[in-house]
Structures are given as structure tokens and as C-alpha cells.
């Protein structure tokens, strides 16, 4: 099996250099990292607890303690409606034709349910109405399907019940539904940041993803958003897509540079079911490409694609956290920095189907089946799928992992101030950092550690293989 993995690493496009990371992954001491990237689990931005079946009242107690110390929080709402299912999608969605007779009632129900769940959170945690919201995100699904009156009603509720005084508002939509009138309404509602998934600027690849928009649709959204005064426009591009070549990725990155985007997400296609690691908002089913056993580019070609991002974006863009690039003239994505940067790592609360909420001591994940979600709310119950607690040791481990995923230097003095212990006094962390340094994936200078270039590329694999407490037993 390992021979096949190594062969995939050697399979490269001869018109492009062989990435140095292929040599790193070929080393026997990095066999666990190679296995991770081959099996392709996802979870770079998920930092799970270590205490199963954590009682719900204990979760709220832990969240209350975190909110009491937090200068602000990350708040997000998930709207699950979509016009169609993308071939790569593993997220919980409710498919609806917005022109169908059932659509108005469904949109009204989705907003009603979101508000109903939010009221439950506020009843359990009155501090939620008092702690300032640092950034509010309206995610999907496709929230840009919401009729104007439902979007207005949803936002009025959040403004009336949470502290939005200095909050930044960010909206995630789908290009084909981000019309100029809709964008104008977003600006009137106070949204200053816009995010959407192009996946590629190649119409061939867009169609292959099962998407209904075209590249020109993306360009028009960007033009309209700029004219309407959006401060941040973030576009998602994917690599490792079926039938995608290294040339395709080069062309996408050239186009992204030409568009002079403030922010860009450049992420690998993940084919292993999200539900296996419970990453953020995730459903239980496989995506269309998994069911059809899609043929993906080789590992070597995928790393050539990843290397092109560094080549084409270097100089003008900085990566912070991993996969998230921001222009030097713009700040990093605020919501990502809030939950990963070592000097922040504030609590986040997610309202809606499949929402993932966490604080220092616990995490809560919502139901992902909409009928089950409705039943729970109808019964007056929090629509919870699972709750896990975090021991003090796990809190320190997760804090270290989150900080590494930010790709920023990790300062032990800041870590001690936050967790009350040194990085180098915790057995699991100290062992992992020592191994990473030995294998050339991390530099340590005095009390600060920093990932090497290879470590930055492999950070997802690193934080999900090298910080397991069971390995230290």
C-alpha cells in the first residue's frame, strides 16, 4: 500500500517542478503524515474535546465561564437552503426551487427555526446578549436564496438580541444568487464582507462541480460588490478536483491575482466524509463524487497545485490561517483569527442546522437532519447531536493546535498567560514539538516555535496526527 502512495507522490506534471514536500512525505519518519494525506480526512479547523457524553448543562456552564472572560465572541447563523447539491458537498442542505409554491413557507420556517433556537441559547446564557459580537457570519447552504423580507426579519432579530455595536457583518453566498439588488440589500443591512465559492474560473471545471453559475457570474458579483462598497471580497478556489490539471490551477491563480482580491481561500478538495471527523457544519452522507468513485489528480500533482499558490500569491498575499490568504493591504479574515490566533481563541456560537459551537471547556454540535432538527425544536429541546468536554490538558493541546494552524509564531509566554502552563511542560505538546523539530517541520528559537515551509504545507496533517494524547501512553 505504501508503495502505491509513494508512486502517487512521484506522479507529477513534468512541465512544473517537483515539490520539495514530496521528499518530506517520502521519509519513513513521516509515514503517519503520508497516510493522513492519502486517506484524506478533513479537520484542520476542528479541535475536538476528549470527554464524551458531556452533559448539556455542563456545556452551558463552560460556555458561561468563557463568555465571562471573553472580550467578544464569534456568532454565526447557518441557513441550509440550496437550489441544488454540488458534487463535492457534504454539508446538511435543504434543496428548494426558490420559484416553487413551497418555497415561501420553507424560507419562513428556516428563519423561524433559526430564531427559535437562538432564543433557547439566550435563555440558557443571558450573557450572550451582553458580550460584544466581534464578527457575525451568515453562512450556508445558500443564505442568498432568502427573500428580502425574511433576510430583513432574521437580521432584525439578531440586532435586537445581541450586542452588534462594533460587530463586523460577513455574508456567504452563491454567485448565481448574489444579484446586484441582493448585494445592495446586504449593504443596507450593514454587511461589509462578502464571501462566495467560485471553486474555479474555468467554466469546464465549474460545470464538473455541478454548479450552475459561470466564471462571468463571479466577475460580475465582484464588480457589483466593489461598486457597492464591500470592504472585503473573499473567493473560494479548490484544487484536487476531478479532471483538474496543474495548468488549470495556474490559470485560476493568475485570474485571482488579476482580480486583485482582498482575500482568497485556496483549499484542497476533501473526499473523506466530513462526518468521520465532524468538521464544522457537516452532514452524514457522502457527496456525489464519493458515490461515483471519482478519479482525482495524483498526490504529486496536488502538491504541485499547492506550490503554485505560494508562487503566484507570494509577495502580495499572506497565508493566515492555513488555506486563507489575505492581501498585504488587508487584515486577515477576522473570524478565523478570532478563533485560532493564540492571543484570541474566543468562544463561538453557531445557530442553525449542523452548527458547531465551542468554548475553552467544551464543544456542541447540532443535529444535521432538518426533520430531526424541527422535531427537537417542536419539543422545546435544544437541537443537539453531540456534546464533548475538554480536560485542562486537552484545552492546552487544542490551544496549541489552533495556534499552529494560524501559521503564526507560537510564543510560550503568551501560551502560559492563556493556559497557565508552559508549552514545554505538557508531555503531549512537548513530545510533538520535539519530533517536529527533529524532522525539520518546526523551528524553535528560545521560547518561540515556528513551522518551517514544509510544516506550513503539512500543518493539517501535523495537528491531526502528532498531538494525540494516546500516543504518549
Strand, coil or helix: what is 350? Answer: strand
Torsion of CA 51, 52, 56, 57, to 10 degrees: -40
pTM of the model: 0.95
Rg (alpha carbons) of the chain, rounded to whole number: 22
Torsion of CA 387, 390, 395, 398, to 10 degrees: -50
Q: Which residue in the block uniquely carries the three cell numbers 462541480? A: 209
According to the 3-state scheme, what is the secondary structure of 410-436? EEHHHHHHHHCCCHHHCHHHHHHHHHH
For 243, left (φ over 0), alpha (ψ -120 to 50), or beta? left
Which of 171, 167, 176, 169 shows the shortest CA–CA distance to 198?
176
- State the 10-residue block means of pLDDT for the chain, 473 residues long: 92 97 97 93 78 96 97 97 94 94 98 98 97 97 97 98 97 97 98 98 97 97 98 97 98 96 94 67 78 90 96 93 96 96 97 95 95 98 96 96 97 97 96 97 97 97 85 41
Domains located in the chain, CATH noted = 2-39+392-472 (1.10.10.920), 72-340 (3.20.20.70)
- CB environment 381-410: b (16+ within 10 A), e (fewer): ebbebebbbbeebbbbbbbbbbbbbbbbeb
| pLDDT computed for residue 314 by the predictor | 86
Amino acid at each position: 500500500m505504501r508503495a502505491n502512495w509513494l508512486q502517487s507522490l512521484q506522479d507529477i506534471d513534468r512541465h512544473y517542478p517537483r515539490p520539495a514536500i514530496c521528499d518530506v512525505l517520502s521519509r519513513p519518519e513521516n509515514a503517519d503524515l503520508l497516510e493522513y494525506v492519502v486517506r484524506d480526512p478533513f479537520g484542520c479547523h476542528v479541535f475536538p474535546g476528549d470527554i464524551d457524553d458531556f452533559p448539556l448543562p455542563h456545556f452551558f456552564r463552560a460556555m458561561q465561564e468563557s463568555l465571562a472572560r471573553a472580550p467578544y465572541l464569534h456568532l454565526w447563523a447557518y441557513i441550509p437552503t440550496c437550489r441544488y447539491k454540488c458534487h463535492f458537498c457534504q454539508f446538511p442542505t435543504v434543496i428548494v426551487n426558490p420559484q416553487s409554491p413551497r418555497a415561501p413557507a420553507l424560507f419562513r420556517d428556516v428563519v423561524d427555526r433559526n430564531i427559535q433556537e437562538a432564543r433557547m441559547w439566550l435563555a440558557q446564557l443571558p450573557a450572550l446578549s451582553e458580550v460584544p459580537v466581534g464578527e457575525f457570519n451568515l453562512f450556508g447552504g445558500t443564505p442568498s436564496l432568502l427573500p428580502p423580507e425574511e433576510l430583513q426579519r432574521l437580521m432584525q432579530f439578531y440586532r435586537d438580541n445581541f450586542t452588534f455595536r462594533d460587530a463586523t457583518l460577513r455574508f456567504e453566498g452563491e454567485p448565481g444568487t448574489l444579484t446586484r439588488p441582493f448585494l445592495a440589500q446586504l449593504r443596507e443591512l450593514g454587511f461589509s464582507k462578502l464571501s462566495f465559492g467560485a471553486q474555479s474560473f474555468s467554466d469546464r471545471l465549474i460545470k464538473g462541480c455541478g454548479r450552475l453559475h459561470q466564471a462571468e457570474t463571479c466577475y460580475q458579483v465582484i464588480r457589483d460588490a466593489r461598486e457597492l462598497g464591500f470592504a472585503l471580497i473573499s473567493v473560494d478556489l479548490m484544487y484536487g478536483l476531478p479532471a483538474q490539471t496543474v495548468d488549470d490551477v495556474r490559470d485560476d491563480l493568475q485570474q485571482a491575482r488579476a482580480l486583485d482580491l482582498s482575500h482568497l481561500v485556496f483549499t484542497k478538495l476533501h473526499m473523506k466524509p466530513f462526518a468521520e471527523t465532524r468538521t464544522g457544519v457537516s452532514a452524514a452522507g457522502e457527496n456525489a463524487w464519493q458515490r461515483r468513485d471519482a478519479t482525482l489528480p495524483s498526490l504529486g500533482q496536488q502538491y504541485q497545485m499547492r506550490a503554485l499558490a505560494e508562487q503566484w500569491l507570494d509577495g502580495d498575499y499572506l497565508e493566515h490561517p492555513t488555506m486563507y490568504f489575505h492581501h498585504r493591504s488587508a487584515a486577515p479574515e477576522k473570524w478565523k483569527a478570532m478563533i485560532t490566533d493564540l492571543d484570541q481563541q474566543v468562544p463561538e456560537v453557531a445557530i442553525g442546522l449542523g452548527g458547531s459551537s465551542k468554548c475553552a471547556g467544551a464543544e456542541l454540535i447540532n443535529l444535521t437532519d432538518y426533520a430531526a432538527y424541527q422535531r427537537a425544536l417542536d419539543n422545546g429541546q435544544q437541537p443537539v447531536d453531540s456534546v464533548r468536554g475538554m480536560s485542562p490538558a486537552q484545552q492546552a493541546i487544542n490551544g496549541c493546535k489552533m495556534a499552529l494552524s494560524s501559521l503564526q509564531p507560537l510564543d510560550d509566554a503568551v501560551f502560559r498567560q492563556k493556559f497557565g502552563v508552559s508549552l514545554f511542560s505538557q508531555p503531549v505538546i512537548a513530545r510533538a514539538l520535539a519530533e517536529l523539530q527533529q524532522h525539520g517541520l518546526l523551528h524553535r528559537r528560545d521560547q518561540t516555535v515556528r513551522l518551517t515551509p514544509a510544516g506550513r504545507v503539512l500543518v493539517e496533517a501535523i495537528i491531526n496526527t502528532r498531538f494525540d494524547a494516546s500516543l504518549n501512553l
